[in-house]
Amino acid sequence: MNILTGKVSFAGGIAAVVMAVLSGCAKEVSVDTSGKEKEYMEAWMKLNHPGVSPTGRGVYIIEDQPGTGSVISNDDFYVFLDYTETDLDGNVTSTSSKKMSQQIGTYSPANYYGDNILILDEAYTQLGVLDLLEGMRVGGKRTGVVPGWLNVGLADYNNNKSGSNSIFTISLKDKTPDITAWEIDTLSRYVAIHMPGIDSTKFGYYSKTLKQPTSSETFTPDTTFYINYTGRLLNGQVFDTTIGDTAKVYGIYSSSKKYSPMVVRPNVDDYTKITISTDENSEGSTVVDGFAYCLSKLRPFEKVVCAFYSRLGYSYSGSGSRIPKFAPIVFEIEVVKNPSGDD
């Protein structure tokens, strides 16, 4: 994972998103949902959970601990949850739980563990998961068997495509009708604690100087300069850095990665076209908009911290296993000397 990957655009709006919300979505295969698959599921339920009847389109709720918070309503479009998915034999196939990952031997300190955000819409979330969430209250926990033909979105369901039969255990943590408002509120509370006295200079963006520059002038387009950076989630977890020792401390070190200052090529006409690369001979790549905006304001040997919401970062998709969906992120960036010693 690095800041050169995962850049996305909201140009088409949220309706243009095509996503699998729970990472445990199984490989799809064609299936006759009216035949043998349903017969198998009915037989399995009769053997393992006799007396449990299907709800909704055909999900079986086998455990339900009601929450004390508000119930999911038609006004809510996003929910925050922890989950674990297993196959019918009880083997964990996907989880957001750090504890569960440690128990099954898949834990990595580089990965994000915590709340997952689901979109409550048939185009984006498995139909069976939506049925499982129906009527849940915040604070509740529910376990349900989701047949393979419901472990897909609406388009695949209509085309008789299927995922695998799964058992989901879901804990509903929170919900919101407006993810942007939630992000901005979360980010402003973070800034009040970690960057006190700083106001937003661009919607969803904050920046604070940590070390004063040696000049008040920003860089011109015909120059290049070098930076070190460290990227974090708001919980402090580091997901990327140019500094080898920092990578080792936070468990994200990779022997295949070069840890050294990056070359920045400014663009005064359009900051989103600023590029960075590992050396001056490389063409370079653009970066996420919030990072690029921060670079556009840098002055010689300045060190800053910038924090921004996900529309300036990795948006609705997140990035790999380290940056979750709709995650505000923070970067510390410092302008440094040319590591080669050349001026």
Q: Do both 171 and 186 map to the same domain?
A: no
Q: 226 and 135, same structural domain?
A: no
Q: Domain check: are 191 and 294 in the same one?
A: yes
Q: If pLDDT is split at 50, 70 and 90, which confidence band does 34 have?
A: low
Q: What is the pLDDT of residue 215?
A: 94
What are the two backbone dihedrals, phi and then psi, of residue 71, each rounded to the nearest 5 degrees? -80, 150
Q: Note the pLDDT of residue 191.
A: 97
Q: Does 18 map to a domain?
A: yes
In the predicted structure, residue 20 carries a pLDDT above the cut 70: no
What is the CB neighbour count within 10 angstroms for residue 22? 19
Which of 112, 144, 176 represents a domain boundary (last residue)? 176
What pLDDT is attached to residue 188? Answer: 97
Residue 260 above 50 pLDDT? yes
**Which pLDDT score is estimated for 37?**
87
Residue 276, in any domain of the structure: yes
pLDDT at 297 over 60: yes
Contacts of 225 (CB under 8 A, 6+ apart): 219, 263, 264, 266, 298, 300, 335
Assess whether 318 and 169 both reside in one domain. Answer: no
DSSP 140-206: -EEEEEE-GGGSS-HHHHHTTEE---EEEEEEEEEEES-HHHHHHHHHHHHHHHHSTTPPPSBTTEE
Residue 343 in domain: no
Percent of the chain with pLDDT over 90: 81
**Is 126 found in the same domain as 48?**
yes
Helices (H), the chain: 36-48, 98-104, 127-133, 154-158, 179-194, 244-249, 289-296
Pair 269, 141 in one domain? no
- Supply the pLDDT for residue 257: 92
At 24, is the pLDDT very low, low, confident or very high (cuts 50, 70, 90)? very low
pLDDT tops 80 at residue 342? no
- The reply to whether 101 falls in a domain is yes
Judgement on whether residues 215 and 278 belong to the same structural domain of the protein: yes
Considering its fold, how many domains does the chain have in total? Answer: 2
Residue 54 is predicted with a pLDDT of: 95
Both 42 and 172 in a single domain? Answer: yes
**pTM to 2 decimals?**
0.85
| 341 domain-assigned | no
CA distance 77 to 85: 22
pLDDT reported for residue 17: 30
**pLDDT, tens only, 165-218:** 999 999 999 999 999 999 999 999 999 999 999 999 999 999 999 999 999 998
The pair of three-digit structure tokens given for residue 245, joined into one six-digit string: 């020792």
Q: Tell me: pLDDT of 19 over 60.
A: no
How many angstroms separate the CA atoms of 46 and 269, rounded?
Answer: 67
Using the predicted structure, report yes or no on whether residue 85 has a pLDDT greater than 90. Answer: yes
Task: Provide the pLDDT for residue 33.
Answer: 52
* Structural contact between residues 100 and 92, judged by C-beta atoms closer than 8 angstroms: yes
Which pLDDT tens digit goes with each residue over 128-157?
Answer: 999 999 999 999 999 999 999 999 999 999
- 104 and 59, same structural domain? yes
5 within domain boundaries: no
Per-residue pLDDT averaged across 2-9, rounded? Answer: 34
State yes or no: pLDDT of 4 exceeds 70. no
pLDDT per position as a tens digit, 207-245: 999 999 999 998 988 899 999 999 999 999 999 999 999
Domain that holds residue 99: 14-176
Domain end marker among 129, 157, 176: 176
**Residue 116 counted as domain residue:** yes
- How far apart are the C-alpha atoms of 93 and 87, rounded to whole Å? 7
Write down the mean pLDDT value for the chain: 89
Is the predicted pLDDT of residue 16 greater than 80, yes or no? no
- CATH, residue 65: 3.10.50.40
pLDDT-derived band at 18 (thresholds 50, 70, 90) equals: very low
Helices (H) and strands (E) in the chain, counts: 7, 16
Whether 172 and 54 share a structural domain: yes
Q: Is the pLDDT of residue 340 over 60?
A: yes
Same domain for 194 and 330?
yes
From CA 118, how far away is CA 216, in angstroms rounded? 45
Looking at this protein, which amino acid is placed at residue 250?
A: Y
Residues 143 and 88 in one domain: yes
Of 125, 152, 176, the residue that ends a domain is: 176
Q: Which residue has the tokens 């022997």?
A: 255
7 within some domain = no
Residue 56 has pLDDT above 50, yes or no: yes
Give the confidence band of 343 by pLDDT, cuts at 50, 70, 90: low
* Euclidean distance between CA atoms 261 and 254, whole angstroms: 16
Q: Which of 2-11, 36-45, 96-105, 290-299 has the lowest mean pLDDT?
A: 2-11
